[in-house]
Structure 1
Amino acid sequence: MRLAGRASPLWTGIGWLFALFLLVILPGVSAGDQFSVKEGVFPVKSLKPHMRGTALTVFQGGKIEQFPVEILGVIAQRSAPNRLVLIKAVGDRVMKAGGVAAGMSGSPVYIDGKLLGAIGFGWKFGDHSMALVTPVEEMLKIPPMEGADVKSKGPHDGLGQTPKDASDHVVSQDQVGQDAASGAVSQDQGLSSPLLIGGVSPRYGRLIGERLSSRVSAPGGGEIVASGSSVLSPGASIGVALVVGDVSVGTLGTVTAVDKDKFLAFGHPFMGRGSVKFFATEASVVGVIPSLETPFKLGTLGGVIGTVLQDRAQGLYGRIGMMPQGNDYEIRFHDLDSGKEAVRRFKAVVDPFVSSLVVPPAVAGCVEDLWGRTGQGTGEVKITVEGRGMPEGWNRTNFFLSDSDLPEKIFQEFSMIHSMLPLNPFLPLEPLSFRLDVKVTQTPKVLYIEKVQVPKDRTFSPGEMIGVDVWLRPWRSKVEKRTFSVKIPADARGDVEVLVRGGGVGEMEQESIKEGRRSIESFEGLLRELSAAEASNEIIVEVLCRRSKDREREDSTKLLSEIKEQRVKEGSLKVLKTNYYVEGLLRVPLKMTAEGDKERGEEE
């Protein structure tokens, strides 16, 4: 008797179909948005060495404070943003916080009352008083604002143009020792605040961080919708989130500029995905944490206040009051050992490529957090999916067993379903609703197939119905006997045997698809094949044999659902669902009549 469990039947049966369903889905972008910087723009070309300016940011709570900065130089590069301004932060307030910190990205820098740009980049293990500012002239190149009018009384280049004469810069390329072709700064130098992840266990929080190539700090999440109307100001904190609600995944930064309901922020990318529809949220700063690597703001995300529409190298652009669609998730958790029950609800961005990175580990981490442990156990999970184009919805129940990591087993199957349905090539489903009913126990809730027996000392004929006795032993309980009736196919030939097994053990594959004889041609067909996959709580009793040549040719072009339906109808396949994880596989050969042998020999 073994407890290690096995790969999900859904994965072994049709998991490879996922590779067929890659469909690029990009949110729409309205062209020609105009962004007016009401303070006016201080052009990079007008900068001089040792100019003084002022930066705005939040050090704690929601209070916007200022600190002085000194201009040191300008760097030009061929990649976006094309120009960056090197500054030095000065003053007691910022230095007590450890210098320019991650999360200050987006903090506006003003010279003579005009907006120069946003603090955007710094260096790990460097001088934390130093930072690079992304000029607002560069931020206004973010689509769809490229070519927008800029209010400024000073001389400056046209938007979208790299300065023609590098000698006008405070610091030339030779002076800073950089080759413009190589780029002055890499995106991983952006002053991104660590991810704020709430409602999941620490290890799955770390996994989300690894998938998003980001550090993870303490949990921080809040309501799905803000409690009241929000007014943004330059220097205020703002959050950008992929998941909001009882589970949250996001980060915080700073607002650079506001034009009515539009805003610019961060001064560097979040994920760099271009046109997006991420959640823009309220944010509050608990404090700035000093660090030799990079100081960072520790904070919490609040309710959703709008949508981030652009995630570009120069920063973020979005709108307040425009609420993005989100996929809904509900986890109903029940610990059978302690009796604990809980419900968690959250929303995630509809982009299937982004949500597939974040949601599956968030679900597994939420289950692990609610369970309060990791390790061995048995789980029953019912997944119910509803969405546009799914009037009747779809659901699947499966059991999972692990001797070391039950949440990981649950994570594997949900991850495949969660990716396959939104990426189907037939029709859009968003927004989707996923509900997971999860029951867990530390006890191995296993049903072992211990013995199989057919009537002894007799022969069988094609087309005959036979009784199959199966002895089943629940974990450390008494053996129970169950009798199944199955039919030997009328066209059976060659060796014939009865096979009794747990669902997913030795399951048939989608041979017609793998060999190029058939394909799935509709969304309804996709759901049928998903439903045809075996589950680990099933007892499978079947008669295996060679069939007539005509039948074998016919079966070679059928999908798995069609073959199973036909075999159930003819009686050669029986499936019994149980409340256990079924383990085992036993075969019993059948002795066929001489007449049957003769008929089979003639057909061969």
Structure 2
Amino acid sequence: MTLRQPLLLTLLFVGAALAVVPAATDTMPLGDVRAGMRGTGVTVFQGMERSEFTAEIIGVLENSVGVRRNLILARLEGGPLAVSGVIQGMSGSPVYVDGRLIGAVSYSMGSFPKDTIAGITPIEEMLNDDTGPAPRLQPVSVPLALPLSSDSLTTLLPDRLAHPEPFALRPGDVHATGLSAADGGALGLQLRPIATPIVMTGFTEAAMDHIAPLFRSAGMVPVVGGALSAAQSLPDGPLQAGDAVGVSLVRGDLSMAGTGTVTLVDEGRVHAFGHPFYNLGAAGFPMTRAFIHGVLPSQSISSKISAVGEVLGTIDQDRATGISGRHGPGPRMVPVHVSLDSPDRGKTDTFDFEVVTDDFFTPLLTYNAVLNTLFTHSRQLGASSYVVSGEARLVDQAPVRFEEMFSGDSATILAALYISGPLTALINNGFEAVSVDSIELSITAHDDVRTASLDRVWIDDPRPRPGRTVPLRFTAKTRRGEEITRTVNFDLPANARGRLEVLVADGTTLARQERQESGRDLTATSLGQLIREMNGARRNNRLYVQLRRRDAGAVMGGRRMASLPPSVLDVLGADPSGRGFTRLRTAVVGEWNVPLDYVISGSRVLTIDLDNP
């Protein structure tokens, strides 16, 4: 992608004069805004130079998305706007009428607009929504049915993406002032928050193509960012109204940041965007200055191309009417270290970056960054295999261990999702707050498919008896037809009688069967249990052997209890608290597993009759 065209476009339209922002800003109440007024907006089209554009007030849309939620309609002119239309990255651009601030440019007509009509969020609503730093609410628990396996841990993240709503859902929702009811209703249906450009550096085209739909659904558009040259540096002084501002998400070997415009700096508070970033409420994003390389014009919707500088403070509020924060130190981020070993190529790469600390964004951004690492430094075409190990270190909790293998056409995506799944479940556990201290990952990449299917299973003892060690042998065939043979020696209990079952299965099959036998979805009852279950999750590259017998038991509070007398079962079943009671008909006498260098699939059941000599 070349920035020559956007740079030329910008330089043709932007004057050399620096837009003057009032030192002490007076605001205009919404009730004083009238159709026909002409105002002046301020934004950055090039570099760090604040430039002016004009805004002709068309009218006001009242109470369209809720009580006391209004939008000022304006037609924007000046600078590159006649060619570019409303630009992604203009969100937050302040608009003044007679030197008084009326609000922030925040909504546009969506894709392929025919006119430069924009919605302006009234400044009084932005200020009323800014409650200052506040604790985040306890997140809603993400239920995980026990026992766990990789298939349940790799499906958590995609289900948690939100979708921005249009300004109005029905024409009748809109009460228009200054224009007809029909025009107001039609505009209200078309107006949407101006998409936030997510500037990404260090990301491959393949990674961006995969990541883009996830962000677009949330009103964010990934764009290729340009880094600052060695000769360029951004001032570390406080931001002013009209400055380009960045919301940093990832920093280090990879960079990702949302960009917009500062609306107002008042009594130490910085207000921007005029619409939500992700509407998280209380937040903790690093706030940076942004440098605008130029405007990338598009018939769909144009976008600013930018780079972000050092952290100047913290964005601590992400509300429906905008984001806000304060100059000063930035928030703590989660350091992530990835070591990628490619033995087929004889090389090892290491990557260090930080992701923002947030219930939603920490798992999502870790997934994005790990996925990009794999796309960048492993096989692009054809199937691959990945062995993932490492841990997420938690504050005042045991670490969560990563240990899994993936192989096949989707291995790259599944390996990245496998990291995000436990993070999603941990941070949204519903029991107590969790703070992720750091994430350490070691990934081995192979340029081939490493899968195997269970072929034969047999007990290599003609007369297995109680108290005896019994050899269980199995063979599996790889995708290339090679045969793998392994032996598991297990002890038959000395008091065992009757028929015993030997279940041999891959991790996913075994976990699914155990969930079905429990009769209902069992979930963890404490954070400690959740961590233990994740660390003990069934693995793709292990074959599991269970020795079972028919016996009465139960699951209570997520725990399996075997060999229970009928009287105990009756008491537990009559417990009015419920606590997830389920009767079991099978008891697991013992369990063993065999690690393999392949992703294994398949299951078999053998029967041992100890009463038959």
Q: TM-score, normalised by structure 2?
A: 0.74
Residue 71 of structure 1: aligned partner: 57
Distance 2:25 2:477 in 1: 77
Distance 2:401 2:345 in 1: 27
Question: How far is the alpha carbon of 1:130 from its aligned partner?
Answer: 2.8
Residue 542 of structure 2: aligned partner: 538
- Cα pair distance change 1:374/1:197, threshold 3 Å: farther
Bigger drift between 40-49 and 230-239 goes to: 40-49
Bigger drift between 428-437 and 66-75 goes to: 66-75
- Cα pair distance change 1:80/1:295, threshold 3 Å: farther
Answer yes or no: is the 8 Å Cα contact 1:81–1:313 preserved in 2. Answer: no
Answer yes or no: is the 8 Å Cα contact 1:221–1:245 preserved in 2. Answer: no
Residues 1:195 and 2:201 aligned together: no
Residue 373 of structure 1 aligns with an amino acid whose one-letter code is: Q
Answer yes or no: is the 8 Å Cα contact 2:503–2:548 preserved in 1. Answer: no
Residues 1:117 and 2:83 aligned together: no
Q: 2:257 aligns with which of 247, 250, 258?
A: 250
Structure 2 unaligned regions, length at least 5 = 1-21, 134-174, 563-587
Residues 1:416 and 2:421 aligned together: yes
Q: 2:181 aligns with which of 168, 174, 177?
A: 177
Residues 1:506 and 2:513 aligned together: no
SS of structure 2 residue aligned to 1:363: helix
- Cα pair distance change 1:356/1:211, threshold 3 Å: farther
Residue 350 of structure 2: aligned partner: 343
Question: How far is the alpha carbon of 1:110 from its aligned partner?
Answer: 2.4
Question: CA-to-partner distance for each residue in 1:563-591, whole Å, 9 max, x for gaps?
Answer: 8xxxxxx9843323334333444455445
Residue 574 of structure 1: aligned partner: 592
- Cα pair distance change 1:517/1:218, threshold 3 Å: closer
Question: How far is the alpha carbon of 1:386 from its aligned partner?
Answer: 0.6
Residue 143 of structure 2: aligned partner: none
Q: 1:130 aligns with which of 105, 117, 121?
A: 117
Kindly, what percent of the aligned residue pairs are identical? 26
Structure 1 unaligned regions, length at least 5 = 1-35, 147-170, 564-569, 596-604
Question: How far is the alpha carbon of 1:502 from its aligned partner?
Answer: 3.8
Answer yes or no: is the 8 Å Cα contact 2:92–2:261 preserved in 1. Answer: yes
SS of structure 2 residue aligned to 1:409: helix
Question: CA-to-partner distance for each residue in 1:168-200, whole Å, 9 max, x for gaps?
Answer: xxx9637332598x7974696222333323444
Residue 369 of structure 1: aligned partner: 376
Residue 9 of structure 2: aligned partner: none
Question: How far is the alpha carbon of 1:271 from its aligned partner?
Answer: 1.9
Question: How far is the alpha carbon of 1:417 from its aligned partner?
Answer: 0.9
Structure exhibiting the larger radius of gyration computed from Cα positions: 1
Residue 612 of structure 2: aligned partner: 594
Distance 1:41 1:559 in 2: 58
Residue 218 of structure 2: aligned partner: 212
Residues 1:399 and 2:405 aligned together: yes
Residue 577 of structure 1 aligns with an amino acid whose one-letter code is: P
Question: How far is the alpha carbon of 1:479 from its aligned partner?
Answer: 4.7
Answer yes or no: is the 8 Å Cα contact 2:132–2:316 preserved in 1. Answer: no
Distance 2:107 2:531 in 1: 47
SS of structure 2 residue aligned to 1:217: strand
Alignment RMSD: 3.7
Question: CA-to-partner distance for each residue in 1:342-387, whole Å, 9 max, x for gaps?
Answer: 2233333333234444443443343223325154121100130111
Question: CA-to-partner distance for each residue in 1:417-475, whole Å, 9 max, x for gaps?
Answer: 1211112233322143222211111222345555444346x322223222234446666
Q: 1:141 aligns with which of 122, 125, 128?
A: 128
Distance 1:346 1:515 in 2: 43
Answer yes or no: is the 8 Å Cα contact 2:59–2:179 preserved in 1. Answer: no
Q: How many residues align?
A: 518
Distance 2:237 2:307 in 1: 16
SS of structure 2 residue aligned to 1:269: coil
Answer yes or no: is the 8 Å Cα contact 2:497–2:611 preserved in 1. Answer: no
Distance 1:572 1:198 in 2: 51
Q: 2:435 aligns with which of 424, 430, 437?
A: 430
Question: How far is the alpha carbon of 1:59 from its aligned partner?
Answer: 0.9
SS of structure 2 residue aligned to 1:421: helix
Residues 1:270 and 2:288 aligned together: no
Distance 1:585 1:511 in 2: 16
- Cα pair distance change 1:272/1:424, threshold 3 Å: closer
Within-5 A mapping of 1:23-172: 38-47=24-33, 50-77=36-63, 79=66, 82-91=69-78, 93-95=79-81, 97-124=83-110, 125-144=112-131
Residue 296 of structure 1 aligns with an amino acid whose one-letter code is: S
Question: How far is the alpha carbon of 1:540 from its aligned partner?
Answer: 2.8
Distance 2:309 2:222 in 1: 18
Answer yes or no: is the 8 Å Cα contact 1:459–1:593 preserved in 2. Answer: no
Q: 1:289 aligns with which of 277, 281, 296?
A: 296
Question: How far is the alpha carbon of 1:109 from its aligned partner?
Answer: 2.0
Question: How far is the alpha carbon of 1:400 from its aligned partner?
Answer: 1.2
Question: CA-to-partner distance for each residue in 1:5-48, whole Å, 9 max, x for gaps?
Answer: xxxxxxxxxxxxxxxxxxxxxxxxxxxxxxx9823224444455
Question: How far is the alpha carbon of 1:264 from its aligned partner?
Answer: 1.1
Residue 147 of structure 2: aligned partner: none
Answer yes or no: is the 8 Å Cα contact 1:80–1:314 preserved in 2. Answer: no
Answer yes or no: is the 8 Å Cα contact 1:495–1:545 preserved in 2. Answer: no
Distance 1:525 1:172 in 2: 55
- Cα pair distance change 1:535/1:518, threshold 3 Å: closer
Question: How far is the alpha carbon of 1:219 from its aligned partner?
Answer: 4.3
Answer yes or no: is the 8 Å Cα contact 2:102–2:122 preserved in 1. Answer: yes
Residue 53 of structure 1 aligns with an amino acid whose one-letter code is: G
SS of structure 1 residue aligned to 2:339: strand
Distance 1:366 1:468 in 2: 41
Bigger drift between 303-312 and 36-45 goes to: 36-45
- Cα pair distance change 1:360/1:374, threshold 3 Å: farther
- Cα pair distance change 1:510/1:227, threshold 3 Å: farther
Distance 1:594 1:44 in 2: 90
Answer yes or no: is the 8 Å Cα contact 1:288–1:298 preserved in 2. Answer: yes
Q: TM-score, normalised by structure 1?
A: 0.75
